[in-house]
Amino acid sequence: MSRSILSRAAHSRVTAALVGVLALAACSSEKILDVVDPDVATPASLEATSALPVVHAGAIGDFQVAFSGNTGSEGQVNMSGLFTDELLFAETFPTRLEVDKRQIQEQNSTMTGIMRDIQKARGSADFASTKFAAVAPGDIRRAETMNLAGFAIVIMGENYCSGIPLSRLTDGGEVVLGQPRTTAQLLDDAIAKFDSAVVIATAAGTAGTTQLNLARMGRGRALLNKGDFTGAAAAVTSVPTSFSYQIFSSAGTNRQNNGVWYWQRTSNRWTVANREGINGLPYISDADPRVPTVNANKVGFDGATPIFFQNKYPAKESPTPLATGTEARLIEAEAALRSANTGSFLGFVNAARAQQSLGAVALPATTRDQQDLLFKERAYALWLTSHRLGDMRRLVRQYNRTQDQVFPTGVYPAPIGGTYGTDVNFIIPFDEKNNNNFTGCLDRNA
C-alpha cells in the first residue's frame, strides 16, 4: 500500500509471495513460458492450492520479524521490554532512547518501522487466510494464520495507544484504508479471529489440537485485557499447563535470527534491567530461574553501561514463546483473585510455578500484596515475550494504580540522566497520517 503504514508492508508481502510462486514455476522450463505477465500479477493470482505453502510460510515469517525481531528489526518483544522495566538502554541511538525514557515522538523512525512490521504481520496473516478460505477453507493452516492475525492485533492493542486503523489489501491489489479502532474494538476484532480459528481447529479433530489451544489462549488474553476475567478464565480452562506454542527462529539467514538474542547479546544495545526507575522488578538480583541472566563483564554500545545478558534466548535460533499453558493458569489465578477466591488463586499460581519446576508460595496477607504476587509471577513467567507492557497498563486501568506507581519513573540513570517521561503506551507513528481516516491517537490512556 502507499497511503498508510500497512500499505508498503502489504504490497511487499504480496510481491514476496509472487516471487515464491514464480520461483516454483521456474523449476520447469515449460511452465516458465506459461507466465502471462509477472509485472501485473495480483493477489488473485495466488488462489491456486500450490500457492498456499508460500503464503502460509510468509505469514509465519512476517510474524516472527514483528514479534521477536531479527538482525534488522527490533520487534515488539525488544521494544516493549525497553519501554517497561525488563530492559535498560545501553547505547546511543536517540530513537530507542525515547522508548526507554517513555518519551516517544510521533516521528520516531525506529518505532515507525516497528509499527510497519506488526501491521505487515497482521496483513500477511489476513492475506493468507483469505487464500485458504478460497481453496481450502478447512485446512488447519488457515486456523494458524487467523490465530497469528489475532495475536498481532492483541499485541497492538496492548502496546499502542487507542486509534489504530486496520487497512486491508483487496484481491485486485487495491488498498482499503481502515478507520481508527478503539482498543476495545481491536480486542473484539482479535476475538472474532480466534473464534473462527476455534471452529476450524475443532472440525479438524486431533490435527487441530495445537491451533485450538492457541486460539483459546488468544481469546483468553484478549478478554483479560477487556476486563472480562470470568470469560478469560473460561476461555483457557481446557488448555493443558504443558501447552506451548513457539515462534521459531533460525540460524539460516539474518532475517530468521532471534532478534532478542541479536540486539541484546550480540549488539549490546541494552542490558537486563534491575529495579529500573524505582518501580522496576529485581530481574537480576532475584536470581529467579525463569529470568536467567549472566554478567557479561563488559559495557554496552555506549561504552559505559554494565551489560547483563538475558539467557532466555542464548542463540540465534532460540524460539520465542507466544502462548503457554503456564499463562493459562495465571489467567485463571487472576480471575479467582478478582472473585476473592484466594484458595483457588493460590492453587493456580502454584500450578503455574510447578510447571516451571518451582516450589509453592504462601498466600500474602493483603489484597494488594496478592495482586503484587500475581503480577510478579506473570512478569517472571512471561518475561521477554511482549506481555509486560499490557500488564503494566492493566495495573493502571483495572487495579487503580497510578502510572508513577507502576512504570519506571523519576531520575533516568547515568550517564544519560534527565527524567523519565509519562508515556504509558506506544504512540501511533506519523506515517499513519497518510491514511486520510486517521488524525492521531484517540487517547494516550492506559
Query: At residue 214, does pLDDT exceed 80?
Result: yes
Mean pLDDT of 6-27: 40
Task: Return the HEC string of the chain.
Answer: CCCCHHHHHHHHHHHHHHHHHHHHHCCCHHHHCCCCCHHHCCHHHHCCHHHHHHHHHHHHHHHHHHHCCCCCCCHHHHHHHHHCCCEEECCCCHHHHHHHCCCCCCCCHHHHHHHHHHHHHHHHHHHHHHHHHHHCCCCHHHHHHHHHHHHHHHHHHHHECECEECCEECCCCCEECCCEECHHHHHHHHHHHHHHHHHHHHHCHHHHHHHHHHHHHHHHHHHHHHCCHHHHHHHHCCCCCCCEEEECCCCCCHHHCCHHHHHHHHCCCEEECCCCCCCCCCCCCCCCCCCCEEEEEEECCCCCCEEEEECCCCCCCCCEEEEEHHHHHHHHHHHHHHCCCHHHHHHHHHHHHHHCCCCCCCCCCCHHHHHHHHHHHHHHHCCCCCCHHHHHHHHHHCCCCCHHHHCCCCECCCCCCCECCCCCCECCCHHHHHCCCCCCCCECCC
Q: Which helix (H) or strand (E) holds 87?
A: strand 87-89
Query: At residue 33, does pLDDT exceed 50?
Result: no
pLDDT for 16 equals 41
pLDDT for 175 equals 85
Q: State what percent of residues in the chain have pLDDT above 90.
A: 87
Mean pLDDT of 32-37: 34
Mean pLDDT of 257-282: 98
Q: Which three cell numbers stand for residue 445?
A: 490512556
Query: At residue 105, does pLDDT exceed 60?
Result: yes
CA distances from 335 to 224, 329, 388, 390 (A): 9, 10, 18, 17
Query: At residue 21, does pLDDT exceed 90?
Result: no
Q: Decide: 356 and 381 in contact? Cβ < 8 Å.
A: yes
pLDDT for 353 equals 98
pLDDT for 140 equals 98
Mean pLDDT of 396-411: 98
Mean pLDDT of 111-139: 97
Q: Decide: 370 and 391 in contact? Cβ < 8 Å.
A: no
Confidence of residue 30 (pLDDT cuts 50, 70, 90): very low
pLDDT for 174 equals 83
Q: Tell me which of 4 and 369 has the higher pLDDT.
A: 369
Sign of CA dihedral 116, 118, 119, 123: positive
pLDDT for 114 equals 98
* Residue 376, amino acid: K
pLDDT for 173 equals 75
Residue-wise pLDDT tens digits, 157-184: 999 999 999 998 877 778 899 999 999 9
Any idea which residue has 563488559 for its cell?
Answer: 298
Query: At residue 96, does pLDDT exceed 70?
Result: yes
Query: At residue 424, does pLDDT exceed 80?
Result: yes
Mean pLDDT of 295-302: 97
Q: Tell me which of 173 and 124 has the higher pLDDT.
A: 124
pLDDT for 400 equals 98
Distance, CA of 186 to CA of 192 (rounded, Å): 10
pLDDT for 14 equals 43
Query: At residue 44, does pLDDT exceed 60?
Result: no
